[in-house]
Amino acid sequence: MTRAIFCKEWWKTRWWVLLGACLSAGVTAYILLTLRSTMTVSGEVETIASMLGRDTLFIDPMRYIPVAFGLLLGCIQWLPEMQQKRIKLTLHLPLSYPRSIGTMLGYGVMVLAAVSLCNMCLLGGIELLWLPRELVRFTLLTLLPYQVAGLMTYLLTAWVILEPTWGMRCVAGLMSLALVSIFFLNTMPLVYMRLLPWLIVLTALCAMLPLYSVYRFNLGKGL
């Protein structure tokens, strides 16, 4: 049954997932081309010195890609469930609703994690050809919290969409904006590294919120 749910979710979201993956890869390629162009024009030594001294890592566009992808996937995956009342069918599967909804959430998290991993490997693998290993590690660690932000955005999007009452949905939306904004309060490199374990725990706890909304829906709230 779990495999069938995964296949259903892939069939429903496959084109959007591929589009999001291609756009993410395109942004990564743009960053790499910009970096290489700067190194060609300004010189490799000057570019590396600028990256170290001025914290110019050429990764600003990539900060927002995980959040945008998480929002897109959350909407594509969960809006039809509510608009077309598919959620009622899901709740009648021979599985408990935490397991069925949890499997659907797990699918989204796995897709986002896979795309983020591919982009990070692409960026880091090519940068290793041009930059010192320590600088590449510095860049990837700076990007890591934004990958977590993408996962949190996906889970919170699912929470907002699955919430059966408009009043609570508005509250969920405001809380979601506040939580995601934590990741963008400061753009200095490595500024979130000490907080990262807590942000990961907070993201994991956010996975409980969509389940709570489905529990409320199952009780007949908002019907």
Average pLDDT, the chain: 85
pLDDT digits (tens, 9 = 90+) for 192-213: 888 889 999 999 999 999 988 8
Q: What is the pLDDT of residue 81?
A: 80
Report in angstroms the alpha-carbon separations of 19 from 13, 54, 91, 173: 10, 34, 30, 26
pLDDT digits (tens, 9 = 90+) for 152-172: 999 999 999 988 888 888 999
Q: Which amino acid is located at 62 in the chain?
A: M
Using a 10 angstrom Cβ sphere, with 0-12 exposed, 13-18 middle and 19 or more buried, the burial of residue 218 is: middle
Q: Please say if the pLDDT value at position 223 is more than 60.
A: no
Is residue 67 very low, low, confident or very high in pLDDT (cuts 50, 70, 90)?
very high
Beta carbons of 35 and 47 less than 8 angstroms apart: yes
Domain definitions of the chain by residue range: 2-218
CA–CA dist 97, 90 (Å, integer): 8
Among residues 61, 10, 132, which one has the least CA distance to residue 124? 132
pTM across the whole model:
0.90
Q: What is the pLDDT of residue 82?
A: 81
Beta carbons of 69 and 150 less than 8 angstroms apart: yes
Q: Please say if the pLDDT value at position 222 is more than 60.
A: no
CA–CA dist 63, 187 (Å, integer): 9
Among residues 90, 219, 208, 222, which one has the least CA distance to residue 169? 222
* Average pLDDT of the residues in 179-187: 87
